[in-house]
Structure 1
Amino acid sequence: MSPVHRTPQRTAPGDHTLDAVAFTLDRRSPVPLYHQLARQLEAAIERGALIPGDLLGNEVDLSARLRLSRPTVRQAIRSLVDKGLLVRRRGVGTQVVHSQVRRPLELSSLYDDLESAGQGPTTRVLRNERIPAPAGVAAALGLPEGAEVTVLERLRRTHGLPVAFLRNHLPASLLEPDTERLESTGLYRMLRSAGITLHSARQSIGARGAGAEEAALLDEREGAALLTMRRTAYDHAGRPVEYGSHVYRASHYAFAFQLLVRT
């Protein structure tokens, strides 16, 4: 094993902060050095040793500090740039953007999950209006086709970068969502404050390529991988109260599962 860089001290965000991370690269391993470096950098970001805004320096600095070739460092950095964890800034060097959002599969709102994870969520409401329910929405909410529903479309960001495009439909009689409040809190918080108790949900998860409009909203290229989620939430009486159809940037977002052995 070849210890490459090991210092216990951490500097302030925005400084060169590789001094806060210990790297150990095995030059005899069949795993390429660039992959070992990328994996250890990603782990440092995930556990918070490297945080959004931290600077890693340019390729020359990194190569010298880690005693690796420039092509090795370049390939490792490129792989994390492609994942959305790092960004290259002209005249600045390589900078940590943020860790990938890992969301548990439970009945909670994206806003609450991001806030509890320290991801600094912000919301821009793109649409808040009442419309006749399309067939699929009406079926999900147990309403006649054409019944009035509220449609909400929101763009959710963390650390200033778009993560998800959220479309939700609610029975029009449920509540009147305030746009300004929706931009400062989560939809499920608003439901709870209106006395609506969520009890359960049916949810499906999938994946597809981004369309042109979605790519523009999420700052992705057209055809980039998106995670999809459809959810119908029910209150304590079993009444459908919300139908969501969301898309997430696969480079920035993941669902986390806990699996148990059936006995």
Structure 2
Amino acid sequence: MRFAPRATVHLLTLAAWLVGCATPPPPVPVGPVSLAAEETAVGEQGLADLELRYSGQLTSPGPAVLEKADYEFVSDGQVVDRGTAPLQVTLAPGAATPFSFPARAAYVDSAEALAALSQKGGSVLVALRGTLTVRAGGAVQTVPFAASRQVRGPRLPRVKVVSVEGARYSNEQVDLVLRLGVDNPNPFALRLDGLSWRLRVQGRELGHGVRAEHDTVDAAATGVYPVELAVTKETWGKDVRALIAKGTLPYEVAGELTGPRVRIPYSLSGDVKLNVSR
């Protein structure tokens, strides 16, 4: 029993030593991280939304990790979106490490704003700005960033009649083929929801429907959508023989072009000369 106190002392000493070994060393401070080569590039543009890709290079004097980017998406001086991009990029000591992240936002918030921007013409200044979070051991640094660029402002598409043909098969039947065109004046593809149409001949409706559903018109191109109808006693009325005998049919086509934040009504009219089909 007289040796118990000494054993207790040894046990306490051992416990203290173990606790001391389990305690992590204090974080070693790392010098400031520097940011260079900032720029933004357009990933994809639409009539109402835009994807920007921010890129830069970070240099850290010691080993570190770029954890995330907290950003604001700015269009014409207004913040239109906020977000966080997780990155987890390892920074080698003393080396410039490239990184990038995309951000997408609606830079036009309504059909009215889109129409005003289209009429105004010119370009739109867009930017990504915010802070980068860098961790080195237990120490955290935040690095501000910002980069902007000009993008061409969106232009509204236009609906037109590309061609119209009338083939007379008899004194009581004419087949009409009307080709509607959607002009896309933009340097990017145009996404459509649909192109509604309602066709009248000399004031009487022959039919209606929707074309171009969920279609895409290429940049600086025209999408063409045919509409085919027959002018007969059943579709136009009992006086169709007198109508066809004139050799020319007056027509009117009206409807609406729709897409993301786009609603464009249209009304087009003209005359179609009838050809004899053999």
Answer 1 or 2: which has greater helix percent: 1
Q: TM-score, normalised by structure 1?
A: 0.32
Q: TM-score, normalised by structure 2?
A: 0.30
